[in-house]
Amino acid sequence: MFGSLKLFLQDIKIAHSLFAMPFAIAMMVIVWNGEHAISWLAVLLIIGCLVAARSFAMGMNRVLDATYDSEQQRTANRMIPQGRLSRLAALCWSLAFAALFIVLSANLSRLAFYCSVPLLLILGVYPLTKRYTFLCHWYLGVCLGLTPLAVMVACGMPVNLTAAVLGASVASWVAGFDIIYSLQDEGYDRRKRLFSIPACFGAATAIWCSRLCFLLTIVGFSIVGVISAGGWSYWLGVSICAGILLAEHLMLRYFVRKQALSNMRVNRIFFHANALMSLLFLVFVSLDVLLQA
């Protein structure tokens, strides 16, 4: 039983939970700076909710996309295609994390509990969107962009403009790097008539769409800074984030021109650069709050 859990956690890359988590914690820091008390128990419950929700979503992704995964060299080493984990076991663990998410939400607030099941439905159907629309990248972005808004709900506060703009910024950022990630599957998606920006419009258009998404992300971060009266440290953080996203696309352009865009390099751009950006955003938001305290 627990052996299958280990395989499940390994397959969904539990460490990737840190993509959205810094923005959730940053939202909590901003809320705290507004003199709204947040208990340590609430902080731990919110972090637990983030991990549980993502684990459910990624588990459903593996279950629903198992057939596609088995047909691609890049994904054929995942647990279900290899036969090391059954679809039923993966589904059961996904539902177990969904149940955990509901329980943790219920311990935050009644509203959070009421929102838990609709949120899980939104997350769970994401793998199906690629079958029907090239907007799948932005759908994924919305899934993660809901994080700052969910934090406000969890803290028992009405969703404000800061949370909404930060959520939109996260959504645009996620869509941008998901488009880059989907470059790996352009040929396969086209053959299987799956919808992605590269498959539908080509790699060049996809890269420009990603650039536009990243630009909108920085614009959103800037609006958040204006709304929340961010200090010099916040703006330094936004500048560094902008530099990282620019460097990401400069690396991408270099590899494309050299025709050396391997899966390993896409993963390096996808994971390392974006994980660093989200963590630095949290660091500079926290520093800004401390300096203004």
- pTM for the full predicted model: 0.92
pLDDT (tens digit, 9 = 90+) per residue, 5-52? 889 988 887 666 666 788 888 888 877 765 566 788 888 999 999 999
Question: Cα–Cα distances in Å, from 62 out to 1, 14, 68, 72, 141?
Answer: 18, 13, 10, 13, 18
Q: Which amino acid makes up residue 31?
A: V
Rounded Cα–Cα distance for residues 74 and 60 (Å): 19
What are 292's two structure tokens?
């203004």
* Dihedral sign from CA coordinates of 157, 159, 161, 164: positive
Which of 195, 187, 198, 87 is closest to 139 using CA atoms?
195
Of the ranges 45-49, 125-129, 156-160, 186-190, which one carries the lowest mean pLDDT score? 156-160
In 3-state terms, what secondary structure has residue 39?
Answer: coil
pLDDT at 26: 86
Backbone angles phi, psi at 85, to 5 degrees: -140, 130
User: Tokens for 227?
Assistant: 């709304």
Residue 178, pLDDT > 70, answer yes
Q: What is the pLDDT of residue 291?
A: 85
Q: What tens digit of pLDDT does each residue of 254-293 get?
A: 777 766 666 666 666 667 788 889 899 999 999 998 887 6
Convert the pLDDT of each residue in 197-248 to its tens digit.
Answer: 999 999 899 999 999 999 999 999 999 999 988 899 999 999 999 999 998 8
Q: What is the pLDDT of residue 28?
A: 84
Helix (H, G, I), strand (E, B) or coil at 149: helix
How many whole angstroms separate alpha carbon 255 and alpha carbon 114? 47
Provide the pLDDT for residue 146.
92
Q: Which residue has the tokens 């690396």?
A: 251
**Helix, strand, coil tally for the chain in percent (to 5):** 80, 0, 20
